[in-house]
Amino acid sequence: MKEQLLSLFLKSITVAVGISLVYIILTILTGPISFSTQSVQTTKSTFFEATGTGTVTLAPDTAEIMIGVTKDAGTVADAQKQVNTSMQAMITALKNLSIADKDITTTQYSIYPQYNPAGTGTNGYTATQTLDVKAPIDLASKVIDVATQNGANITGQVQFTLSDSVKAKAMQDARAKAVQDAKDKAQSLAGAAGIRLGKIVDVQEDSNNPVRIMPMMAAGGAKIAQDSTTLPAGSTTVTSNVTLSYQTN
């Protein structure tokens, strides 16, 4: 019996040594054997939020004006010719005000027949072309005046807005005010509720695109007054609403 136990003990040692040698050889040939483990992370899904508002009010520096020409004639060619003549004179006058080509854009060009009351034929044709003109605010009134003096018989709405550079600066200032307002509210509310705020983990913004619109319209054969045009521009407000999300400790 002792001899059998001794034999089994020696075989066990031999197997263990063999496994160890195999592991050592594999480690030398392929590097350390990696073992994978699974980990579970938990995160807070509820954050402390506060919303702030920032506004900047300033005078608009840019006007966008819709002006145009409409003409009636017995033929398509005559209607086109009359519109083109007035339009060329109008554009030349606008350029003399230092309005750049890129700020004069055609927004509509149409020709349509005028049907007789019986609907059996046409009495002529109407041609129409309208432009969108972007100008510095101090030239807005002059744009309308020179346009009507050179054949414009359509004037549409006037939009007072901000140039891109001024708008960007105003929005930056409004955004900074909104963030500070949100931070102040967060500190006040958290302090009152006994909540310790951590770091800001998210920012959301809702902003506006300020445009002040002055409706104007005259069309057809109506004669537009030749007195100097007056266009009070008022003020424009840029607004930013910001929501800050905090971790809580």
Question: Per residue in 41-53, pLDDT tens?
Answer: 435 557 899 999 9
Span 209-227, average pLDDT: 53
What order of strands is seen across the sheet that includes strand 197-207? 48-58, 236-248, 197-207
Residue 10 domain-assigned (yes or no): no
Q: What is d(CA 17, CA 242) in angstroms, rounded to the nearest whole number?
A: 69
Residue 70 is predicted with a pLDDT of: 96
Q: What is d(CA 58, CA 101) in angstroms, rounded to the nearest whole number?
A: 28
Residue 207 domain-assigned (yes or no): no
DSSP state of 229: P
Residue 98 domain-assigned (yes or no): yes
Residue 97 domain-assigned (yes or no): yes
Which CATH number belongs to the domain containing residue 85 in this structure?
Answer: 3.30.70.2970
Q: Please say whether the beta carbons of 239 and 205 come within 8 A.
A: no
Give CB contacts under 8 A, 24+ apart, made by 107-116.
107/66, 107/131, 107/132, 108/68, 111/76, 111/79, 111/80, 114/72
Residue 26 domain-assigned (yes or no): no
Instruction: List the domain range (segments joined by +) for residue 151.
Output: 62-162+212-231
Residue 55 domain-assigned (yes or no): no
Residue 121 domain-assigned (yes or no): yes
Count how many domains the chain has: 1
Closest CA to 244 of 170, 168, 172, 189: 189
- The answer to whether the predicted template modeling score (pTM) of the entire model surpasses 0.85 is no
Span 220-241, average pLDDT: 72
DSSP state of 221: T
Q: What is d(CA 210, CA 242) in angstroms, rounded to the nearest whole number?
A: 17
Span 15-33, average pLDDT: 49
Q: What is d(CA 94, CA 86) in angstroms, rounded to the nearest whole number?
A: 12
Q: What is d(CA 109, CA 106) in angstroms, rounded to the nearest whole number?
A: 8
**Helix, strand or coil for residue 132?**
strand
Residue 100 domain-assigned (yes or no): yes
Residue 9 is predicted with a pLDDT of: 44
Q: Work out the number of other CB atoms within 10 angstroms of the CB of residue 126.
A: 17
State residue 95 phi and psi, 5-degree precision: -65, -30
Label residue 33 by pLDDT band (50, 70, 90).
Answer: very low
